[in-house]
Chains A and B, each alone.
Chain A
């Protein structure tokens, strides 16, 4: 099965190039190609998860063993995110048929392929390439939403992302200049000697800020509200839910494997705290649903950054739990918000016309603010117990900011919820609540069901995540897996 893994990247990539051509000849066949590819990808990854022995493994590509060749590194964490990518790609598949369909679907396939690559890649440069691919496909997709505002937003995003790429490349160049290798395992081996200095730190920070653009890191996330507010909801959901997490994953990977400087974690922590503050406060005043969700997403990513800055295994666990939880919730919320554009006041009395949508919103909101026994609570519980255990006072500030942010979050989310459940309209305001589109509501319900399922199974899932975290934390295992037990032929 392991050798099929390549296909999860290769097939969507191939599909992306072939799709426009096929579509031109047969639309009927074309529309099924994308979902089929992604479904197959899900199946492969699922199988791997179920039938694998739980041990990580590495796949060398192109016949060269690492550290010379490039490789895919597959541990539980990578597998999890790759699977989530394929699955969410399938769920958020752009079905809509118009003249842009081939373009959009091809870009979506490209996005999924590169995202999967981002999750699996074991090589710094490869990561960069996939990262760029993600960026390009995202621009395309946002622009394909083809509203005027979306174009403007895309331009801003494009510029920012471009500069970010340059910075990332700069960082990678620094590393390469220092160590002469870009293989992560090899770097992990060399890092304590060669990168544990100012240069390494500079490289890391450059990469952090570069990749941070996607991961909604504090000062470089200004594209977020506009893009999420103007792009198609399904795309926003995919970006907020998944792509940001993949960028985060990359940063986490680099931090765990290579950069052990305390300054690195400190920077992440500070930026995370600032992100939480800026995001949640900005969301408090947001006047429309999508922007509110976008700001909230910034805040949540800030929380995850705080978790990233935590040193040990429970920290990784917190990152994973928070990321997956946010992935679930934000996707669901963006799907709900599909038809909820415009002023928040339009939502007045919505629960009466669409009780399911109202109920789902409340459910997601409750989990987001960490109401036990919903999974959000357990994620947050992991985070705060870990934060409280640190001696550095900065972590204590992080803890306080996090608690404050949760209060603000509850305040603005439930202001909306209260509006929805308002039955007596005040004078001058007529109830003209938008209906929630059938498809997006169904999708949201899917996430809601998922959330409830997770609530029920929180205990086994928690243990599984703990194992994943332990594996991701283990640097020696990574090095050994990639360098000592190559699957390809050894030079």
Chain B
């Protein structure tokens, strides 16, 4: 591949991710509004929020690590996007593979955790402790799912996994071949978004939005950007693993938005679990489904 082309891809992929991610945030808020019989925010609301937050006159920092944490949170996702193939663009997906992507997606959380730690607010620390606990909860079914898919495909290369599904048509889609894994993956994905009923680490009424408690201005803005990326990455990863990726941008985006719509629709119907209930739930049903699914794959 020509280097210019590669550089173009590497720039475009995060950019597209960001734009699509903003639309996903909008969709999420609109769905919430529709469920609550409200009108919901205008079309560009996510952009307004991000611009406003970055244009705050006074920005409260708690130290250098606070700043670096936010940079890591954004930068980690920007890097992760280049490992996630989209129609027509593979970026450097072949040089990393799915395990690397999975671990790269932990970098933003790590950055956030560091930044929040430096904020010296116990609410934030509790939030991070809970977030890590939640990660322990949903990553276990998630890795089972990843294992199953990668083993079935015989590769950890996302490009190959997508290509295999597309070559076989609908019947070769992960969701059709491995329905149990697809269900387990969906639950794990829902939990990884940190939406109700799994939002134990945000818990506004309890620990004042946990990690975000000391975030103001561009710090919060950075997290809003990160949220766009997070929604995009999660849904696209799911689409790539189970729904055959996308041949064109249209069906790619359609699938991504639809996939995301499922957990989001569920989310606004429920209150919050307690931490141990979340763990119990995650370690029971999705793990069980996932293991049975893997057994079928083997």
CB atoms of A and B under 8 A apart anywhere in the complex?
Answer: no
Q: Which residues of B contact A (CB under 8 A)?
A: none
